[in-house]
Structure 1
Amino acid sequence: MLRTRQRVGHDILLARHGNTISSMRLDRRTNSVVAVLDNGTVDRAPNLISPDLPQPVGPSGLTADDRKLLGLVTGAFAGLGAVMVGGVLAMAHFGQELGLTEAAAYFPAY
């Protein structure tokens, strides 16, 4: 995988301030972008993202930690669903002993 440094200073400043930017310039000494705002204040943003930062894995944009969390949550919900289905099947099997057939007569059949 080819990792390149991305120039993002302009994007960061546009996201922060939008239409309130009067001018922008590149400060080569600090490798950052400096913006002068309409009210006279100055803001700066770094122009490079380090290639050593953790990057999303795969085309879905999920990191390995995200995949692990989603797997755990999916497994927990699947287990809960299996317990609920088992409970319904147990109630259907032992329904006559528990009097559920009389209670089911009060609900309309679909």
Structure 2
Amino acid sequence: MQSSRLVLGLTTTAFFILYGVGLGAVARGLSRASTWSRGPAVFSQLIQLLIAYSFWGGGTKAVAIVLALAAAGVLVGVFRKESTEALADNPQKDEPPVL
């Protein structure tokens, strides 16, 4: 029984380390306005909203509120007009207008 708990702890730790590295890559992509980073950013914030919901109730309401506000802030930032334009996959964006 102890070895199964150890394996569960190690695999959970490995998962969250990989998830953190992935979020770091997404954050770097967003800071460089890479078009691929918008989808994973939105997806991870939707997951965070679900995690916030799971913390609602009892003594963890404050945690739920902080998680939900952070996720909502990121989503608002990603869906702002400036962000949408910067992250748009528009190859003709830098071409001069055709007259």
* TM-score of the superposed pair, with normalisation by structure 1: 0.33
- Rg larger for: 1
Which structure shows the bigger proportion of residues in strand conformation?
A: 1
* TM-score of the superposed pair, with normalisation by structure 2: 0.36
